[in-house]
Structure 1
Amino acid sequence: MSERLRNRTALVTGSTSNIGQAIAEAFAAEGAHVIVSGRNRDRGARVVEGIRAAGGRADFLAADLDGGAEASRSLAERARETLGGRIDILVNNAGIYPAPGTADTDETTFDQVYGVNVKAPFFLTAAVVPAMADSGGGVIINLGSWIARLGVPRGALYSSTKGAMETLTRAWAAEFAPLGVRVNAVSPGVILPPAPVGDEPSPGEVMMKGTPAGGVGTPAAIAAAVLWLASDEAAFVHGTVVDVDGGRTGVAVIAA
């Protein structure tokens, strides 16, 4: 590896599995000291163990980012302490995906999804940026989603939260640039399911037929884009949402 993140520190939320885990592992492989964060201590410990076994630096901090400002502030403070006083990179990855139809969504579910997907990263970013700026600047990367811009029959609640995060990306880029903090987002497409279920293709695999990629992506593909945005190679990139979706949103899909 080229150690693009040598001597950097990073906090990755929701990084005990899937995309978040891939991001944490990619950051550590490039020299960063990474905070792996999530609700599941056992999974977090396994991710940290794997990173350390590969020669990287990582620590786990348990956090249930439910949208409460105090939970976000607590994680920011604990992460700074663990990382030696500064956070250079924040990746707002944690999210949940209940997908009831609109008429079937109750207020509790609505508040929960917005709490985890929007309020928690909003207040975590608010808690991280001042100290990040005092340390000379940093990078924030949000995770959006392809369905924030391409409607599907279900998932209106989730897609609206990801639309909010992509809007916050642009707003924060303008707000925090004078402080030396660069903000961008990655919009993942359909990502390989954790494990196949039966012989039939998943709905996601069906949706990717006829796209330029022709199939689903992997967590590693998303991690590579996030790594680039976190590195100095993307120093001139501000307020941008990078689509990593196999061409799903940008190219006409031709039915097979």
Structure 2
Amino acid sequence: MTARLQGKTALVTGSTSNIGQAIAEVFAAEGAHVIVSGRSQERGVRVVEGIRAAGGRADFVRADLDGSAAASRALADEARRTLGGRLDILVNNAGIYPPATTGTTDEETFDRVYAVNVKAPFFLTAAIAPAMAAAGGGAIVNLGSWIARLGIPVGALYSSTKGAVETLTRAWAAEFGPSGVRVNAVSPGVIVPPAAPGEEPHPGEVMMHGTPAGAVGTPDAVAYAALWLAGDEAAFVHGAVVDVDGGRTGTAVIAR
């Protein structure tokens, strides 16, 4: 690794598995002291132990980001306390995706998905960005989604929350950028394990036919995009949404 985040501190929400875990591991490998956060103490401790075993710095802070301002503020405060008072990078990754259609989504589910996917990052950013600005700057990376801009039959609720996150990315870039806090987003495509031989493929894997990549992506692919946006190499990047989707939303090729 190249120590691109040496001396930096970072909070990655929803980092006890999958994309969030990959981001935490890559950030730590590049020199950052990372706060791993999520609801599961067991999984969080396991991720931290793995990072430390690889020579990185990490601590776990449990958080159930239910959308309340209080829960977001509590995580911000505990992360800063654990990191010695300074937080340079925030990754708003935590989210939930109930695979329901519009007609089968009840009001309780609707409110819960918006609480976790939109309200929680909104109030966490509100609790962290001003302090970043006061300390001289920082970087915020949000997680959008390819289905915020390419409609699919199942996922209207989730995709609408990610559309909100991508809009907030641009609004926050305008709001906090002049104070030295860069805000950008990564929009992942289909990130699922490929089917084993003889196994039925995931519908998302089938949807990658006819794309330049021709296959699903890995959590690491998203993590390295987040690393670039969080680091000094992206110092002139504000309000961008970087597609890491194998070309799914922007291109088409002849499927073979």
Normalization by structure 2: what TM-score?
0.98
Q: What does 1:35-50 align with in structure 2 at a 5 Å threshold? A: 35-50=35-50
Query: C-alpha separation between the residues in 2 aligned to 1:197 and 1:93?
Result: 31
1:70-81 to 2 correspondence within 5 Å? 70-81=70-81
Query: In the alignment, which residue of structure 1 is the partner of 2:121?
Result: 121
Shift of 1:197: 10
Three-state SS of the structure 2 residue aligned to 1:21 is helix
- CA deviations over 1:188-226 (Å, ceiling 9, x no partner): 000023986971111011000111001000000000000
Q: Which one-letter code corresponds to 2:126 in the other structure?
A: A
Match of 1:180 in 2: 180
Distance 1:210 1:186 in 2: 22
Q: Which amino acid aligns with 1:81?
A: R
Deviation sequence 1:213-241 (CA, Å, 0-9, x none):
01000000000000000110000000000
For the structure 1 residues 164 and 60, does the alpha-carbon distance in structure 2 shift closer, same or farther, using more than 3 Å as the test? same
Match in the other structure for 1:11: 11
Moved more, 77-86 or 185-194: 185-194
Matched, 1:51 2:51: yes
- Report the CA distance shift for 1:178/1:44 in structure 2 as closer, same or farther (over 3 A): same
| Aligned residue number for residue 205 of structure 1 | 205
| Change over 3 Å in CA distance of 1:218–1:132 after alignment to 2 | same
CA distance 1:151–1:46, change in 2 (3 Å): same
Two-structure CA RMSD over aligned residues (Å): 1.3
- Which residue identity is paired with 1:124? L
Q: Partners of 1:233 and 1:155 in 2: how far apart? A: 34
Runs of 4+ in 1 over 4 A off after TM superposition: 194-198
For 1:173 and 1:216, the matched residues in 2 are separated by 30
Separation in 2, partners of 1:253, 1:65:
40
Displacement after TM superposition at 1:179 (Å): 1.3
Counterpart of 2:238?
A: 238
Instruction: State the alpha-carbon separation in 1 of the partners of residues 48 and 243 from structure 2.
Output: 28
* Deviation per residue, 1:20-49 (Å, 9 max, x gap): 000000000000000000000000000000
Determine if contact 1:35/1:79 at 8 Å carries over to the other structure. yes
1:104 Cα deviation after fit: 1.2
In structure 2, the gaps of 5 or more residues are: none
Q: Secondary structure at the match of 1:250?
A: coil
Equivalent residues of 1:145, 1:187 under 8 A apart: yes
Could you tell me whether the CA contact under 8 Å between 1:65 and 1:71 is conserved in 2?
yes
Query: C-alpha separation between the residues in 2 aligned to 1:164 and 1:119?
Result: 10
**In the alignment, is the contact (CA less than 8 A) between 2:16 and 2:38 conserved in 1?**
yes
CA distance, structure 1, for counterparts of residue 132 and residue 28 of structure 2: 20
Report the CA distance shift for 1:99/1:60 in structure 2 as closer, same or farther (over 3 A): same
Gapped regions of structure 1 (runs ≥ 5) = none
> Greater CA deviation, 224-233 or 186-195?
186-195
Deviation at 1:253, TM superposition (A): 4.7
Superposed displacement of residue 53, structure 1: 0.4
Identity %: 79
Contact 1:11 1:87 in 2 (8 A): yes
- Aligned pair in 2 of structure 1 residues 72, 103: CA closer, same or farther (>3 Å)? same
Secondary structure of 1:252's counterpart equals coil
How big is the shift at 1:254?
Answer: 3.1
Query: Paired residue for 1:67?
Result: 67
